[in-house]
Amino acid sequence: MAGCDILPYPRGKACSGQCMSPCTGRTGLWVVAASSGKIARFEKSDEGAYSLVPFAKDSVAPSAEYFAKSMMADHGAHAFERMVLVGSQSDIAWARAVLPAELAACVMAEVEYPLPTKWFQNNGVMPELSGALAHVLQG
């Protein structure tokens, strides 16, 4: 086809213009990492990086009840659409048990991968944990 322009295929879905809020460029995917009663959450960027989503001023949820209430509030504010749970089998079961029933449909996958509790520190970024998540969830 001589003389035709080849246009690059757009990445992601096309905007319909029907949204009630402005586009954010976020994936809407959160990863909930659990280990021995500690929970941290991360958001996946379009580039595949995982950045910490803090609980107010804490990197790790201070309690199961606080985790559940925060997740309900954030889902109500359209902060995420889908979730992946990562941890040992018992940690995933515990995270599922504390999640409100309304959020069960948001869980799109469970990845059994034991995470060291020492990675769950209230010190901000948690590079070991975000790096492990990027490695385990690559693709």
Domains of the chain: 29-136 (3.30.420.60)
pLDDT, one tens digit per residue, over 31-82 is 999 999 999 999 988 888 889 999 988 899 999 999 999 999 999 999 999 9
CA quadruple 51, 129, 62, 86: dihedral, nearest 10: 90
- Interatomic CA distance for residues 34 and 103, integer angstroms: 16
* pTM of the complete model: 0.78
pLDDT, one tens digit per residue, over 11-27 is 444 444 444 454 544 56
Could you tell me how far CA 123 lies from the centroid of its own chain?
19
Residue 66: predicted pLDDT: 94
Residue listed under structure tokens 């959160």? 30
